[in-house]
Structure 1
Amino acid sequence: MAGEDALYLGLAGEGALYLGLGALFSGLSLHKIRKNEVKVQDASLCVLPALLLLEAFCYLVLPAGPGLSVFFVACVFYYMALPVRRMLPAAGKSVLVTGCDSGLGHALAKHLDKQGLLVFAGVLNRNGPGAEELRRDCSPNLCLIQLDVTNCEEVAAAYCEVSGRVKDTGLWAIVHNAGVLLYVADGELLPMNVYKKCMEVNFIGVVQVTKMFMPLLRKAKGRLVTISSMAGLNPIPGFAAYAASKAAVTMFCAVMRQDLFKWGVKVSSIHPGSFKTNIFGSRDLCSIQAQNLLENLKPDVRDEYGEDYLDTLKDLHQKMLTSSSSDISPVLEDAHHALLAQRPYSTYTPGRLAYLIPLIFRCSPIWVYDTFAKLIFPGHHTILPRSLRTFHDNYKTDLKRGRGKGHFRTGASQTQRTSEKTAMFWIS
């Protein structure tokens, strides 16, 4: 009896040690997370359930000494892995931001100017309304730069102007923000000039500016930051041109991070979720791009998709704006961290679900991601193209007659059957 009591007391004492150790590290970790304003995706909160499971395993399976040691070491590793928010002073640092006429670049130029950095704000029109607003609202330190990232002469002239100002200190950072979306539609429907423009601005422009300003960046051992997109990490229906260009620039940044490590230059890419910025364009621009699409469609393609299907594409921009967040402060905060943190992250994902969606794409079966994408991305899948709609109507008729889900058109090829099954998935 006495032996049983001793065993019970021993187990209770061991359990108390596990609970105390877990509570101690939980409190310390939460304090560190709050103190350093660590985001959920950076805190790796998914590790916490794993630590709880490890705690249960150590308590139930391992002897007291080794079990407590293993659990203690795991908690220490997690605590040490939590990022610490140590920021460098902004004084004396300069940054070039492209695409500052409006939207995110415009807001970022103002934000960085308030933080005390010397901002070179690249604009398409030095006399435009966006440039005038920056002159009016920002400090005299902000310098407006005429910069079309696709224009070699303007990029070279901007380099001369910036190098003349920073001299031997070099340029601390470049923020590649300039970008275009143009239009959202099926990849087959998008004109080639949309693909070329997206690549020219979103990718080639980034490469061109980076190569030109790299000597100044290396001199300062500074930062190369690119505003990419969630579309650069995972496929989004209707974004073939835009996503391809953002995927290209994302990989470019990843390779440059490796290439510039030896020079002391840190490289980060920011992949925002859905925010209301001018990249969606105005209604007038949307109408122009819609007309551009129609003018470049072959008659047979236009006939197979149908006019009513093509008309639904015009509403996509408005749907995206409606579902987007107007609060762009998460992007501004991440850009600020990438520029001035002692240990910036290589990847940032500001925005609702922005870190979760790429994770699902990478770690789950493709059909899981496709189903998820169908639910969260506003699309035009409430209506099928005309040629598939006929099949769909026949399919529903056959179901009513009891012919079952296995029925397909007589004589249909395997490719046609696959496309019909896919169509049924997206419309269901």
Structure 2
Amino acid sequence: MSTVFSETAWLCLAVTAALGGLVLYKFKKRPGQVGRTVFCLAGFCGGAYLLSLSLFWGLILFSLSCFLVYVYLSGQELLPVDQKAVLITGGDSGIGHALSKYLDELGFTVFAGVLNEKGSGAEELRRTCSTRLSVLQMDITDPQQIKDAYSKVVQKVQNRGLWAVVNNAGILGLPADGELIPMREYKRCMAVNFFGAVEVTKAFLPLLRKSKGRLVNISSMAGGVPMVKLAAYGSSKAALTMFSAVMRQELSKWGVKVSVIQPGGFRTNIVGSSEMWDKLEKDILDHLTPDVLEDYGQDYILEQRNFVSLTQKYANPDVCPVLLDVRHAISAKRPFAFYTPGSGTYLWLCFVSYCPTGIVDYFSKKMYRRKLCFESSLPRALSVPPWKKKAT
């Protein structure tokens, strides 16, 4: 009996080793978020093995787990490029610009929608990329420009079809206390980050349904994690995240797969220029009521731009994790519904989703104070000592 058990155990061990080798081989070829998922599955398998009371059944269970992981990784294999056509919005700078170059290098036919086809970003794409890349004038808040871009895409792809749409174009708006942000900025964020993405999606969906392709929406961690100063931006990204989730369910019957990317802090040009900030600050001061201006104080309002410089200090300048996840979303046989590139992004989203609100608020306040030094800046009405208020 012991001999039979020994032979069976050795056989299970050999099968486990073989399957483990296959898993490692496939794991090394997987980009982006897949690696994190595999580590979680491997941890589960290891835990199940350690908790097993029997070596024999432990090996059986571990072998089965390795097989399931192997099947899972097989579903994450990337489809051949074959010059698949991809439309990317917001290609002037930042993630959209880098993504256009990256997908062009991989052999995709890229349509880079830009806000200004004569700008430096558009010119750089024309100069550095292959002839497969086309620059399209595409202000996503302008329905006519979207229609014109659609016509040019159809004319070029013809029977090959459009494989993927990446809604990347977005603006940060004015980071400030929600009460201070003018309604114009709330509407502007929604117009670009949400309504623009929806309109592009609706325009190009007939092509995606025909190719059974991919819709990828670039949202943000701020769309799932409440972040101070980002009421306008976070609300628009939360709307985009929910839109993506609904479309994922509705488009599944057409064979179209929908993914949403929720990046953490990456350093891009989304913060805008100094001239833009001067205009936004003037816009705030011009539209505040006397009571609100008195309570907050002009000094506090003008300090809001420090938020951007401080957050940029902790932002990651390397956007490669985002590019890898987008590539996986448009190329994998079975892409994920959600991607969370960036250090700690996934943990923060889980923390906010499952922890009591009071605990989330406490740790958020501690983190922001430690990193962004908010305790040194308070609205005028909160920073004036009580005895001074009585004296006035």
- Kindly provide the CA deviation profile for residues 149-181 of structure 1, in whole angstroms up to 9, marking residues without a partner as x: 010111111111111111233211111111011
For residue 272 of structure 1, what is the amino acid of its counterpart? P
Question: Is contact 1:113–1:139 with CA below 8 Å preserved after alignment?
Answer: yes
For 1:231 and 1:41, locate their aligned partners in 2 and report how far apart those are by CA, in whole Å.
Answer: 23
For 1:168 and 1:272, locate their aligned partners in 2 and report how far apart those are by CA, in whole Å.
Answer: 34
Calculate percent identity across the aligned residue pairs.
45
- SS at structure 2 position matched to 1:45: helix
For 2:326 and 2:142, locate their aligned partners in 1 and report how far apart those are by CA, in whole Å.
Answer: 25
* Structure 2 segments unaligned to the other structure (5+ residues): 388-392
- SS at structure 2 position matched to 1:267: strand
For 2:249 and 2:145, locate their aligned partners in 1 and report how far apart those are by CA, in whole Å.
Answer: 28
Q: 1:163/1:69 Cα in 2 relative to 1: closer, same or farther (>3 Å)?
A: same
For residue 292 of structure 1, what is the amino acid of its counterpart? D
For 1:131 and 1:64, locate their aligned partners in 2 and report how far apart those are by CA, in whole Å.
Answer: 62
Q: 1:197 maps to which residue? A: 188
5 Å-filtered alignment, 1:24-423, equals 29-37=23-31, 39=33, 42-43=36-37, 45-46=39-40, 48-59=42-53, 73-74=64-65, 76-78=67-69, 80-82=71-73, 85-377=76-368, 378-379=371-372, 381-382=374-375, 383-390=377-384
- Further displaced range: 48-57 or 90-99: 48-57
**TM-score, with normalisation over the residues of structure 1?**
0.80
- SS at structure 2 position matched to 1:110: helix
- Kindly provide the CA deviation profile for residues 204-238 of structure 1, in whole angstroms up to 9, marking residues without a partner as x: 00111111111111111111111111111221111
Question: Is contact 2:251–2:257 with CA below 8 Å preserved after alignment?
Answer: yes
* Structure 1 segments unaligned to the other structure (5+ residues): 1-6, 395-428
For 1:53 and 1:91, locate their aligned partners in 2 and report how far apart those are by CA, in whole Å.
Answer: 41
For residue 141 of structure 1, what is the amino acid of its counterpart? R
Q: 1:235/1:44 Cα in 2 relative to 1: closer, same or farther (>3 Å)?
A: farther
Question: Is contact 1:237–1:379 with CA below 8 Å preserved after alignment?
Answer: no
Offset of 1:306 from its aligned partner? 2.4
- Further displaced range: 81-90 or 162-171: 81-90
Q: 1:75/1:103 Cα in 2 relative to 1: closer, same or farther (>3 Å)?
A: closer
For 1:260 and 1:223, locate their aligned partners in 2 and report how far apart those are by CA, in whole Å.
Answer: 10
Offset of 1:200 from its aligned partner? 0.4
- Further displaced range: 70-79 or 252-261: 70-79
For residue 78 of structure 2, what is the amino acid of its counterpart? M
Q: 1:302/1:15 Cα in 2 relative to 1: closer, same or farther (>3 Å)?
A: farther
Question: Is contact 2:32–2:328 with CA below 8 Å preserved after alignment?
Answer: no
For 1:241 and 1:64, locate their aligned partners in 2 and report how far apart those are by CA, in whole Å.
Answer: 56
Offset of 1:107 from its aligned partner? 1.3
Question: Is contact 1:95–1:171 with CA below 8 Å preserved after alignment?
Answer: yes
Offset of 1:196 from its aligned partner? 0.1
* Number of equivalenced pairs: 384
Q: 1:277/1:83 Cα in 2 relative to 1: closer, same or farther (>3 Å)?
A: farther
**TM-score, with normalisation over the residues of structure 2?**
0.87
- SS at structure 1 position matched to 2:39: coil
Offset of 1:248 from its aligned partner? 0.5
Question: Is contact 1:33–1:43 with CA below 8 Å preserved after alignment?
Answer: no
Aligned Cα RMSD in Å? Answer: 3.1
Question: Is contact 2:75–2:332 with CA below 8 Å preserved after alignment?
Answer: no
Q: 1:26/1:371 Cα in 2 relative to 1: closer, same or farther (>3 Å)?
A: farther
- SS at structure 2 position matched to 1:121: strand
For 1:211 and 1:131, locate their aligned partners in 2 and report how far apart those are by CA, in whole Å.
Answer: 25
- Kindly provide the CA deviation profile for residues 290-346 of structure 1, in whole angstroms up to 9, marking residues without a partner as x: 221121211111211223322321211111211111111111111111112222111
For 1:323 and 1:210, locate their aligned partners in 2 and report how far apart those are by CA, in whole Å.
Answer: 33
Question: Is contact 2:16–2:59 with CA below 8 Å preserved after alignment?
Answer: no
